Chains A and B, each alone.
Chain A
Amino acid sequence: MTSPRADREIAVAADDDRLLGSSATSRLLIRPEMGAFVGAAAIWLYFAIVAGDSGFLTLGGTASYLEVSAQLGILAVAVALLMIGGEFDLSIGSVIGAAGMILALLTVNYSWNIWPAILIAAIASLAIGFLNGLLVVRTGLPSFIITLATLFIIRGLTIAITRLVTGRTQLGGMRDVAGYELAQTLFASRIQIGGAGFSVSILWWVGLTILATWILLRTPFGNWIFGVGGNEQAARNLGVPVVRVKITLFMLTSLAGCLVAVIQVIGSTGADVLRGQQQEFYAIIAVVIGGTLLTGGYGSAIGAALGALIFGMVRQGIVYAGVDADWFQVFLGGMLLIAVLINRFVRNRAMESRR
């Protein structure tokens, strides 16, 4: 495995004498997102051949899978940072349900303006992330267990409180809420290109991917994330504020969940207590397909974004290919397996050629 530092310096200082003898190809191959890039191209090509004449290649078809990819991608990019930092967050799907319900309850039930309601939803999400992070660093228990617990607690609270307050599990009527117009433009509008409506969430996805990549590769905080995930003790000895880094990462992940909730609630003009179920797994799948190691210390935000792109293409692609939905989960699991194998293969080959 490359050390995060060396990995970073490949990009920064390609003429460093430590890298003499490594070819341009192997430098490219060793990037964590390379496997996902090849995978995305292969999946696109596959559907272009099999389903090209039934709408996959049209602008409408492209818009449809990019929207799915965008919503997952927003999550995946944040989860990638967290996983590079060596932790998991299984509660993120429940955060989507909770944040969406908070937004809908405050606006529809209590007639708030949409903006303060979004602010409260974001603060609540950040608080959940803070709590996740605090529990993990203070107890030293695996984040897998801690966030598995919060997954159920938050989902249960969302269902219980919503039913207590409204007696229902779905809330609609966002369209009539004060401030909806502007929020709709910002979070859930469609940009018309050639007769097809491209969801504005695609811009959020791309923007966040760029931001996360910049943080990872160009800021001290990014360096800390690699350090904390690679070797926590060593990072601590070097003076990296491990606790602060981890808690911040959990908070960012929850905030990404909140953003997806806001996009979904405004887009579908309502909330449902079950929103976001299984998204935590889909996000992890996208991140792993994107080349991030489960053990932390190695990975990329661009890879996670490509992983989400693959997910979206497969999810929607099987509609165009005319395959029954029964098979979707088979593809998903199969792709995860293949992606991990390809990543390992590519990385091992690249490592060997460096020696």
Chain B
Amino acid sequence: MTRHVRCLLLAWMLIASSGIGLTTTAIAQEGEDLRFIVVSHGQASDPFWSVVQRGTDAAATDLGVTVEYQAPTTYNMVEMSQLIDAAVASEPDGLVVSIPDAEALSPAIEGAVAAGIPVVSMNSGSDVAAELGVLVHVGQTEYEAGFGGGERMAEAGVTNAICLIQEAGNAGLEARCAGFTDAMTEAGGTVEQLVIDLNNPTEGQQRIEAAFTASDDVNGIMALGPTGALPALQAIEAAGRTGEVQIATFDLSPEVLTAIQDGTMLFAIDQQQFMQGYLPIVLLKLYVTNANTIANPILMTGPGFVTAENVDQVIELTEEGTR
């Protein structure tokens, strides 16, 4: 849906809610035939999810279908399952969901499958997608990505690391941390967990600084996303320990890439989330119009690594909002 239509709709809603009332023509089924709904757990303010949304928008434009994007206002699985219920009741041609908490979301997802709506999962939920009746999962397997990150970090000489969780309760992040911890432990290192609030970077920075001032041994930080990596970078700089404390992160943002370019960050684990937005729409369209399915249960978009070697090229693409 174009920005203009959205703005118009907003105006209509405000007028209607003021009780004046206004006759409107239905705009829901203007133009395209196929209508897909994406329900993710990612807030729009998170740069990561903004790229996913760019992916769904791009797919909608390229394929000539309608895609609507919904997400709860906070990380709240009850609200998310209610959004899925609403999406199902609106009878879309296909549904894309992320599954960060299978237990809480499974009734809603099974409801969608039972209603005959094709469902593709993306980002989180690779381990449960198949048993819920989802066609295919598009994403990165988190444990393996974390393990790969741990190996690289140990290679770089890190022995005592902090695993920085920016969204307490997300099972995908916990799996990354577990993989990272296992790889580090295998290499003879130790890992401590630190939870920060992604909505409050300043407070996060203070907590990270406190964590490695409290213990001189810490010489590495693995952030589980840019919202954790940025305060971590600032904390290292503020404490004057650039170079002593190595840092790497999951997922990209412009600041992360600049840090890799400058050499203040080792690497970023890239799950190429643009494809997690784009590909499910392609797969759903092919399924609905051509009955095509993918044979693998998981279509892996990551892990890829962004290092000093390939960072320049990735930066160009990031500026377009697609990496």
Contacts and interface: CB of A to CB of B under 8 A. Distances in A.
A248 interface: no
A307 to B, nearest CB: 13
Interface string B28-57: 110000010100000010000000000000
Interface string A165-207: 0001110110000000000000000000000100000000000
Given A46-B13, A323-B9, A60 B89 contact: yes
B1 A273 contact: no
B168 A159 contact: yes
A56 B91 CA distance: 10
A159 B73 contact: no
B85 A50 contact: no
B24 A49 contact: yes
A324 interface: yes
Interface residues on B, range: 35 or more
B310 interface: no
Given A46-B17, A55-B90, A325 B103 contact: no
B16 A168 contact: no
B77 A272 contact: yes
A63 B85 CA distance: 9
Most buried by A among B28, B76, B89: B89
Contacts of A163: 195
A268 B168 contact: no
25 contacts: A45-B21, A49-B24, A50-B26, A52-B26, A54-B28, A67-B82, A170-B169, A172-B101, A172-B102, A268-B81, A268-B103, A269-B104, A274-B75, A277-B76, A315-B79, A319-B70, A319-B87, A320-B86, A320-B90, A321-B13, A323-B9, A325-B44, A325-B70, A329-B73, A335-B17
Interface of B: 1, 6, 9-10, 12-14, 16-19, 21, 23-24, 26-29, 35, 37, 44, 66, 68-79, 81-83, 85-91, 101-104, 107, 168-169, 171, 174, 195
Interface of A: 38-39, 42-43, 45-46, 49-56, 58, 60-61, 63-65, 67-68, 71, 159, 163, 168-170, 172-173, 196, 264, 267-270, 272-275, 277-278, 314-316, 319-331, 334-335, 338, 342
